[in-house]
Amino acid sequence: MIIIETMDEIVSLAKRRGFIYPGSEIYGGLAGFWDYGPLGVELKNNIKREWWRKMVYEREDVVGLDAAIIMNPEVWKASGHLEAFTDPLVECKACHKRFRSDKPETIKEHEKEHGKKPEWTTPKTFNLLTEVYLGTTEPKQKTYLRGEITQGVFMNFSNVVDSTRVKIPFGIAQIGKAFRNEITPGNFTYRSREFEQMELEYFVKPDAKESEKIFKYWKEERLKWYVRLGMDKEKLRFREHAADERAHYARFAEDIEYQAPFGWSEFEGIHHRGEWDLGRHKLTYKSDEGKEYTPWVIETSGGVDRAALFFLLDAYQKGKDRVYLKLHPKLAPYKVAVFPLLANKEELVKKARTVYEDLKKKFVVVWDDRGNIGKRYFAQDEIGTPWCVTVDFDSLEDGAVTVRDRDTTKQERISIDKLATYIDNKLNAEN
């Protein structure tokens, strides 16, 4: 019961404070679509920036890419998605609603709605790719919104090899939108129809032992990334896919799962795709020694929206008299809030404005002069702002401000000329 409350509280906080809104809400919404508000877009951008920094900028063996969302439909034929990117569905014969037959909890929940157990059809498979039609005259060209961002990387494998200095082993990283015609979107943003992925396709020699080593390396790296950004280690685990649940392209796969209020849930997959993709697209690589072969692929595939949801859930803290989001400062939408002690004292506002304008050049900063200090702390805690800076009457004399820490609520007096360095050191301190 408590668990469900947390989920409801996060959904409510996300809407009330501008993280996540239901998509096209004024027309009744659209199942599986969500809009990110002023704070949500910052959180998501911060997650993506940290991912890109770790996966691209800090490495010599990874380059980035931004491929088109819509591709030639032949891509999806060759990749196997037209045939195998499916979910097994059953239909309730009483109300004709459809559910995934591999999710017994959802089925049981639906049965409860009817009171007595309804009859179900036998499972049938449905393709998850979303169709789009291009052109203005008939017949229009049918293709698909990408169901995984991955295929765009394979489409550009040879372009990247020919136009850069990469040599196997190397990776191509990408972040972008993917679309799936999910039959039962739900659990807030967890299962959406439009979502964002952050993926690395790492190309290796076709060698079983070596590729398994690289698979293990990436698995650990990805878990560490979440922990370093503050996720509770105790709420994370790996789960290996059984043979009958692996995607059509995977030789083997493991998920990183988070202990969400709705149960252990996958939010990143590490997949050994073997030679499936480059083999299907008939793409090869020539080594410096002139040996031509089909590289194998190790993939790390994370969901930006699921990461954002789990970072929010994980950060949600209820104190005695406050709720606060203990987000890692790197992920927090605003790093600093600046207040004048009193909003009606011109000299305080003027001084606070100069502090605000100066910090704004270096960090994402918010100005707040509503209500009293206590209310402002409360409001900033709820959105996870790590540091609140107050300009008071003493500041006019001693050139210092009060900096209040979100997690400890402790206050420190810091000289204005050292403030930016103070924030910068805290922000970049590895924990």
Question: For binding to ligand GAP (CB under 6 A), which residues are involved?
Answer: 148, 150, 180, 182, 191-192, 195, 197, 199, 266-269, 299, 301-303, 305-306
Of the two residues 149 and 400, which places its CB atom closer to ligand GAP in the complex?
Answer: 149
Of the two residues 204 and 352, which places its CB atom closer to ligand GAP in the complex?
Answer: 204
Q: Would you state the torsion angle of the CA atoms of residues 68, 146, 243, 272, taken in this order, to the nearest 10 degrees?
A: 10
Concatenated DSSP letters of 170-219: EEEEEEEEEE---SS-BTTTTB-SEEEEEEEEEEE-S-HHHHHHHHHHHH
Quote the least distance from Cβ 168 to ligand GAP, whole Å: 20
In terms of Cβ atoms closer than 10 Å to its own Cβ (0-12, 13-18, 19+), residue 150 is buried
**Is there a contact between 86 and 127 (Cβ–Cβ < 8 Å)?**
yes
**Is there a contact between 175 and 69 (Cβ–Cβ < 8 Å)?**
no
CA angle (333 as vertex; 330, 336 as ends), nearest 5 = 80
Of the two residues 231 and 423, which places its CB atom closer to ligand GAP in the complex?
Answer: 231
CB contact set of 389 (below 8 Å; sequence gap of 6+): 336, 337, 338, 339, 355, 359, 401, 402, 403, 404, 419
Quote the least distance from Cβ 34 to ligand GAP, whole Å: 10
Quote the least distance from Cβ 255 to ligand GAP, whole Å: 7
Which tokens in the block code for residue 427?
Answer: 């922000």
Which single residue brings its beta carbon nearest to ligand GAP? 303
Element housing 46 (H / E): helix 38-52
Of the two residues 308 and 338, which places its CB atom closer to ligand GAP in the complex?
Answer: 308
Quote the least distance from Cβ 65 to ligand GAP, whole Å: 14
CB contact set of 271 (below 8 Å; sequence gap of 6+): 247, 249, 250, 252, 253, 298, 299, 301
Residue with tokens 């699921």: 306
Interatomic CA distance for residues 113 and 316, integer angstroms: 31
Quote the least distance from Cβ 201 to ligand GAP, whole Å: 8
Of the two residues 42 and 268, which places its CB atom closer to ligand GAP in the complex?
Answer: 268
**What is residue 240's three-state secondary structure?**
strand
Quote the least distance from Cβ 303 to ligand GAP, whole Å: 2
Interatomic CA distance for residues 339 and 344, integer angstroms: 12
Torsion sign, CA atoms 307, 311, 313, 314:
positive
Of the two residues 188 and 324, which places its CB atom closer to ligand GAP in the complex?
Answer: 188
Calculate the CA 303 to chain-centre distance: 5
Quote the least distance from Cβ 32 to ligand GAP, whole Å: 7
Q: 399-425: b or e for each residue (b if 16 or more CB lie within 10 Å)?
A: ebbbbbebeeeeeeebebeebbebbee
Of the two residues 70 and 134, which places its CB atom closer to ligand GAP in the complex?
Answer: 70
Quote the least distance from Cβ 266 to ligand GAP, whole Å: 5
Of the two residues 313 and 337, which places its CB atom closer to ligand GAP in the complex?
Answer: 313
Of the two residues 50 and 182, which places its CB atom closer to ligand GAP in the complex?
Answer: 182
**289 DSSP assignment:** T
Of the two residues 101 and 150, which places its CB atom closer to ligand GAP in the complex?
Answer: 150
**Is there a contact between 181 and 130 (Cβ–Cβ < 8 Å)?**
yes
Quote the least distance from Cβ 268 to ligand GAP, whole Å: 5
Quote the least distance from Cβ 20 to ligand GAP, whole Å: 13
